[in-house]
Amino acid sequence: MSTIIITVDTKEPNQLLASTVRAMRRSLDVSAAALARASGIARHSIEAIEAGGTTTPAQRHHITVALGSLSNNRATQALPSTTPGDDGAWLPGAAVAATPTRRRVKAPALAGQ
C-alpha cells in the first residue's frame, strides 16, 4: 500500500491539486468518469477540479481515497494469480493476500520441569 503525503505552502493550492489529480489519474490510465464513480463526485466537478477550480475538504478527501483505491486495485491486478505453498509448490488460484495459517507448536520444555 502506498501513502502519498503532500504538504503545500503556496497561494495557489487549487492549481497544485489540479495538476496532482490529473497526473495521478492519467498515470493510472483512469478516465474522469471512472474517478467520478470511485469518488462519488460528479464528472463535471472532477473536470472542474482538474482545471483548477476550488474544492471543499470533503471533495479533496473523496478524491484522495478514490485515487488510492484505484491505485491499490491496479497493483493487485498486477500480482500473480498463484502463490507458493508450504512445500514450495505453486497452488493455482490461491489467494495472494491469504491470512497466515496458525499451527500448533509445542513450546520447548524449560530446564528443571
Looking at per-residue pLDDT, the higher value among 27 and 86 belongs to 27
Closest CA to 55 of 23, 19, 18: 18
pTM of the predicted structure, to 2 decimals: 0.57
- Of the pLDDT bands very low, low, confident and very high (cuts 50, 70, 90), residue 111 is low
What's residue 36's pLDDT? Answer: 92
What's residue 34's pLDDT? Answer: 92
- Homologous superfamily of 13-78: lambda repressor-like DNA-binding domains (1.10.260.40)
pLDDT tens for each residue of 47-104: 999 998 888 889 988 998 999 888 887 776 766 655 555 555 555 554 444 455 555 6
Q: How many CB atoms lie within 10 A of CB 62?
A: 17
Provide the residue ranges of all domains of the chain, joining segments of one domain with +.
13-78
